[in-house]
Every structure is written in structure tokens, then in C-alpha cells.
A and B are shown apart, each in its own frame.
Chain A
């Protein structure tokens, strides 16, 4: 499974989005698509499980989880990809 596929699976399972993950583009605002702050915590924890790392404190900001593209950037930064 690719990084993007894993991110989309995590969002589908934990993002509690108001729209289908398939309808999201790279830069769709996930908070605008219905993801709450609490859901973003679940997404963060599920990403850590899926990619086996822990987000650094400086990455724990809203913008890290605001879109699929932003999440990919954060994941690649943390995994050295």
C-alpha cells in the first residue's frame, strides 16, 4: 500500500468526514470537510500506528492535518521518506 493509500485509509476509518475520502483532492481542507479537532487526534494516532513513528511536538499543529498533501509532507518528514 502506498503512503497516499494508507493516509486515505486512515482518514476513512478515523477522520469522521462528511464526504467520501474518494472525493478528496490533495489540497481539500479536511476540517472544512467535517473533520473535528477530536477526529484529528484519532487520525494522528492512527497515522503513528500505520507508519510506526511518533509525531514530534513541532508537527502537532492544525496545519499538519489540514489536507492529504499536508499529512503526506508530515509523514515523509517523520519517516525520512
Chain B
């Protein structure tokens, strides 16, 4: 009888400048948002002003926190070459206000390869900086360095 693989934890964290995200939204508009964020994330971060454009159309601090979370997930997944599509990592806001991570496509494949069955995230943002910490529970032997 073989022993169960030992569980390990992986942690990723990232900080993002809110102003840099705001400048990107101003410069590239919806194309920037659509390349990085899922429809759910976009809906979650849209402001109530339907006529607004550029940074005024989005809660840019929330977008920045979500990008930080995506980057933190990438750090947990530890891709060697393939960079998963940013939209294959969704920061899903639950009705109660907390967020969960939902993976699809390339990100889900990387998680499966690493034996990562569970990811949790914590987001935070202030006026200038947004950050996220992600913890993944891994049940597969670590790759060699």
C-alpha cells in the first residue's frame, strides 16, 4: 500500500499600483480591461455611471486588487514557460462580499499538474496600492529546481 502524497502549501502575493492600472484604463480603455478580466470581474468592477469612460468607468482599485490576485495565483502555480491567460484566473466575488478563485483553461491545467486542489485569496487596497495573498494546498511532489 503506497503512502498518500504529503500536503504542502504554496503562497503567492503581489502588489499593484492603483494609479498604474488607472493610467492603463485611460490609455487602452476597454481593450485593456477585456484582455485581463473576465466578464464577471468587469461587471463587479464597473461603476454605476453607464456613461463614464476611462478610469471613471471602473473601480480601478478593485481592478488593481484583482490583477494582484491573478499574479499571486501565477506565483502559486509556478509555470515554467506557459503564461496562463489572465482571464483563465477569475477572482469571483461572492454574494457575501468575499472572493474565491475560479480557474479554467491553462490555469486549471497548471493547477492539476501541480496537484493544487484548493486556492484561497485575500484582497486589500488603499488609495495608491492594491495587494493580494493567495494560498494553495498542494498534494503532489514538488518539481525539482
Q: Which residues of A contact B (CB under 8 A)?
A: 16, 37-39, 41-42, 45, 57, 60-63
In the complex, which residue of chain B has the Cβ closest to the Cβ of A41? Answer: B36
Chain B contacts to A: CB under 8 angstroms = 16-17, 20-21, 24, 27-28, 31-32, 35-36, 67, 71, 74, 81-83, 85-86
Could you name 16 residue pairs across A and B whose Cβ atoms are closer than 8 Å? A38-B16, A38-B17, A38-B67, A38-B71, A41-B24, A41-B32, A41-B35, A42-B27, A45-B31, A45-B32, A57-B85, A60-B83, A61-B83, A62-B81, A62-B83, A63-B81
Give Cα distance in the complex from A37 to B83, angstroms.
Answer: 11
B35's partner among A39, A45, A61, A63 (CB-CB below 8 A) is A45
Contact indicator A16/B28 (Cβ below 8 Å): no
* Chain A to chain B: the 7 pairs with minimum beta-carbon distance, closest first: A61-B83, A45-B28, A62-B83, A37-B71, A42-B24, A61-B82, A38-B16
| Shortest beta-carbon distance from A41 to chain B in Å | 6
